[in-house]
Chains A and B, each alone.
Chain A
Amino acid sequence: MTNTPGADLHLPEGCMAGIAMHEMSLCESILQVLEQQAETQQYSKVKTVWLEIGALAGVETEALRFSFDVVVQGSIADHAQLEIIEVPGQAWCMPCSRNVVVQQLYDLCPHCGSHQLQVNSGDQMRIKELEVE
């Protein structure tokens, strides 16, 4: 238990504490999944990680790569290669009644210019597959 000055609630470390940026904490979560799966799937080293990251997931892939290398140091995924599969953003345009491709959450429908869009793909952040030993 660490006592953070001023805090009423003191938690042990390792619960996403001490992480400075968004992608860092996502990488912590990825590493947790890798370590947890190592037990159930019986592997001791991760060589490659395939991630599926949606264009609308709010993840900066370059920052994710940088953070990943830092976070996995000394872990079962030390020096693992990160393969990022980028999934385009897609939304349902209500006036057009069809799916359209969007790059950003504030994009307008490329056909009718409406903002009545409901995102239905491209906001995912998933670990798809691993190459392990």
Chain B
Amino acid sequence: MCGVCGCGEGHSHSHDHDHEHDHEHSHDHDHHHEHDAAHSHAPGLSQFRMVQIEQDILAKNNRYAAENRGYFGERGILALNLVSSPGSGKTTLLTETIALLKNDLDIAVIEGDQQTARDAERIRATGVPALQINTGKGCHLDAHRVGHALETLQPKDRSLLFIENVGNLVCPSSFDLGEAHKVVILSVTEGEDKPIKYPDMFHAADLMILNKTDLLPYLDFDTEQCIHYAKQVNPHIKILPLSAKTGEGMDSWLRWLKAELELQRIDYA
């Protein structure tokens, strides 16, 4: 996947094309020079000149994300980017989901954490392949790392791929990984105002799981208000309250997964 970054890892067919592009650019140098010189603020007085860039800061990540999305599309893989605060119950939701679906579907998991392979080990214990990415001090997964993970993990065609992002409600919202949907998980122990405290993530997500509903009798959590806040930030967000521990509400989540996977498996012209 890495013809662009020069890290020397892996390979992708589409990158030969990119290299050709680079060459074309280098042929243009003389032209750029003259053009930019004309835009200089103080021609003749300074060797400084202006260069128009007009480039999205995340353009590089977005290129990798587009490649990943193409990879998933060709293979009919449903990739979901699971995002939440630390401790929302993402990994437990995954292990319970896998236990209920693994006889019907092929499932693979990419786990992102700053340190340790504990989560990947928990997933592997369920019998499905999992790959741990440690981001070190990094606060999110990026599309480049996910591309490498795909080379190693090689999820099966027409399978379900969960990408469990680093527990963080801020940074992962900006970094597209090529997923079909971001799914944000909020647990009822976190307070109903999380969606407006961290609006970017709830704005970017298509589905919100309200987890640990079995604890509601012991908390002052206002479910209606939480749903209201989430829809205020994102009028299109869909919300599923459930308890991964007791299984309450899991049926809707499993049906959503199967329906989305079925959509991803369609071959469009």
> CB within 8 Å of B: which residues of A?
4-9, 11-12, 14-22, 25-26, 29-30, 32-33, 37, 39-43, 47, 51, 57-58, 104-106, 108, 115-119, 124-133
Contacts and interface: CB of A to CB of B under 8 A. Distances in A.
A118 B203 CA distance: 10
B: interface residue count bin: 35 or more
A51 B49 CA distance: 17
Interface string B1-36: 000010111000000000000100110110011001
Interface in B227-261: 229, 231-235
Contacts of B139: 19-22, 25
Nearest to B235: A116
Grouping DSSP codes into helix (H, G, I), strand (E, B) and loop, the B interface class, with mixed when no group exceeds half, is: mixed
B269 interface: no
Contacts of A30: 57
A8 B54 CA distance: 37
Contact of B47 (A57, A106, A133): A133
A67 to B, nearest CB: 12
10 contacts: A6-B115, A6-B117, A7-B132, A9-B131, A9-B145, A20-B137, A58-B200, A127-B53, A127-B56, A131-B48
A51 B173 CA distance: 20
Interface of B: 5, 7-9, 22, 25-26, 28-29, 32-33, 36, 41, 47-61, 115-118, 120, 131-140, 142, 144-145, 148-149, 152, 170-171, 173-174, 195-196, 199-200, 202-203, 229, 231-235
Contacts of A106: 195-196, 199, 229, 232-233
A4 B49 contact: no
A118 B145 CA distance: 31
B50 A131 contact: yes
A41 B51 contact: yes
Contact of B117 (A8, A26, A124): A8
Contacts of B49: 43, 131-133
